[in-house]
Structure 1
Amino acid sequence: MAQLKDEDLFWVYNEECNSIAIIVQHLWGNMLSRWTDFLTTDGEKEWRNRDLEFESVINTKDELMEKWNAGWQCMFDALDSLKPEDCEKTVYIRSEPHSVVDAINRQLAHVPYHIGQIVFIGKMAASNWIALTIPKGQSKAFNAAMTKKPTSKF
Structure 2
Amino acid sequence: MSFEIDFLKSVIERFESYKALGDKTFTQLTEEDFFARSSETLNSIAMIINHMNGNLLSRWTNFLTEDGEKPWRKRDAEFEDFKCSKEELIKLWEDGWACMFDTLRNLKAEDVEKTIYIRTEPLKVYDAIIRQLMHYSYHVGQIVLYGKILKGDNWRTLSIPKNKSNEFNSAMGVK
**Common fold, TM-score beyond 0.5?**
yes
Aligned counterpart, 1:57:
82
Question: Does structure 1 residue 107 correspond to structure 2 residue 127?
Answer: no
**Letter in structure 2 aligned against 1:33:** S
Structure ID, larger Rg = 1
**Letter in structure 2 aligned against 1:116:** G
Q: TM-score, normalised by structure 2?
A: 0.82
Q: Give the aligned CA root-mean-square deviation in angstroms.
A: 1.1
Q: TM-score, normalised by structure 1?
A: 0.93
Aligned counterpart, 1:67:
92
Aligned counterpart, 1:3:
28
CA contact (8 A) 1:20 1:121 kept: yes
Question: Does structure 1 residue 140 correspond to structure 2 residue 153?
Answer: no
The structure with the greater share of residues assigned to helix is 2
SS of match in other structure, 2:172: helix
Q: Which moved more, 1:56-65 or 1:83-92?
A: 56-65
The separation in 1 between residues aligned to 2:111 and 2:170, in whole angstroms, is 44
Aligned counterpart, 1:122:
147
The separation in 2 between residues aligned to 1:74 and 1:56, in whole angstroms, is 24
SS of match in other structure, 1:123: helix
1:144 Cα offset (Å): 1.8
1:58 Cα offset (Å): 4.3
Aligned counterpart, 1:152:
none
Aligned counterpart, 1:35:
60
Which string of whole-angstrom CA distances, capped at 9 and with x for unpartnered residues, describes residues 122-148 of structure 1?
Answer: 001115111100011111111122228
Aligned counterpart, 1:151:
none
Task: From 151, 157, 160, give the equivalent of 1:131.
Answer: 157
The separation in 1 between residues aligned to 2:47 and 2:113, in whole angstroms, is 35
The separation in 1 between residues aligned to 2:51 and 2:86, in whole angstroms, is 15
Runs of 4+ in 1 over 6 A off after TM superposition: none
Q: Which moved more, 1:30-39 or 1:54-63?
A: 54-63
1:96 Cα offset (Å): 0.3
The number of residues matched between the two structures is 148
SS of match in other structure, 2:173: helix
* Structure 1 gaps, min length 5: 149-154
* Structure 2 gaps, min length 5: 1-25
1:57 Cα offset (Å): 2.9
